[in-house]
Amino acid sequence: MSEDDRLTREGAKGLILDSSALYCGKDLPTEHELIISPGVALELERHGMKERLELLLATRIKVLSPDKTALAKVMEVSRKSGDSRRLSATDKEILALALDLGYELVTDDYSVQNVASILRIPCRGLDQRGISRVIVWESRCVGCGKRFPAETEECDICGSSTKTTIKKSQKRSAAK
């Protein structure tokens, strides 16, 4: 660990950014170390933001890959809450990075915020404060309406596809 890394870890906390945090053209916070995942870098390139990405990488932002253990934990929790289907591989990466580094996550994606909340990862939206409720999802058949665990994609009664809906929503317990 370099002197700089040590200072960052002990001093001002870093932020993990999702793609939307970089799309919106807002000024990025200056007082934090800024981290993105390889998937976020790829999404920016795909959306024609290669030049912006290169500029950011040259100046302020680091790309880090998440730790496998943290990624496995994110997978497990998102499967349980039913968010797994709503999360992209990139979403899971940034959650795992935030979990691993203990950094705050910046995202407007509701499912990312939901899983962050369950894992007690500090999380803020671009325009709003963090969520105050935790949602548990379930799947419902679009044909016959039968309910399933959130991961079920096809109805075993009528063969129709399912959509995820809110099973329950509960007030988030105060974070430590």
Q: What's the closest the beta carbon of residue 142 comes to Zn ion, in angstroms?
A: 8
Judged by CB under 5 A, the residue of 12, 158, 166, 175 near Zn ion is 158
Q: In the structure encoding, which two tokens stand for residue 132, read together?
A: 């105050």
Q: Which of 46, 143, 161, 168 binds Zn ion (CB under 5 A)?
A: 143
Which two structure tokens, joined as six digits, stand for 41?
């870098």
- Other C-beta atoms closer than 10 Å to the C-beta of 174 total 5
Size of the site for Zn ion (CB under 5 A): 8
What SS3 class is residue 11?
Answer: coil
The two tokens of residue 134 are 């935790």
According to DSSP, the residues that pair with 137 across neighbouring strands are 166
Work out how close the CB of 167 gets to Zn ion at its nearest, in angstroms, rounded to a whole number.
17
The answer to whether 155 contacts Zn ion (rule: CB under 5 A) is yes
Q: Is 102 in the site for Zn ion (CB under 5 A)?
A: no
Smallest separation (angstroms) from Zn ion to the CB of 160:
5
What is the distance between the alpha carbons of residues 105 and 102, in angstroms, rounded to a whole number? 9
**Binder among 12, 157, 166, 175 for Zn ion (CB under 5 A):** 157
Is there binding between residue 152 and Zn ion (CB under 5 A)? Answer: no
Give 5 or 154: the residue with its C-beta nearer to Zn ion: 154
Candidate residues 72, 89, 144, 175; the one interacting with Zn ion per rule CB under 5 A? 144
141 binds Zn ion (CB under 5 A): yes
Among residues 15 and 155, whose Cβ is nearest to Zn ion?
155
Using the minimum distance from each CB to Zn ion, give the nearer residue, 20 or 160: 160
Can you tell me the distance from the alpha carbon of 28 to that of 37, in angstroms, rounded to the nearest whole number? 16
3-state DSSP assignment of residue 94: helix
> 103 vs 137, which CB is nearer to Zn ion?
137
**DSSP string spanning 14-78?**
PEEE-HHHHHT-PPPPSSS-EEE-HHHHHHHHHTT-HHHHHHHHHHTEEE-PPPHHHHHHHHHHH
Chain positions contacting Zn ion, by CB under 5 A:
141, 143-144, 146, 155, 157-158, 160
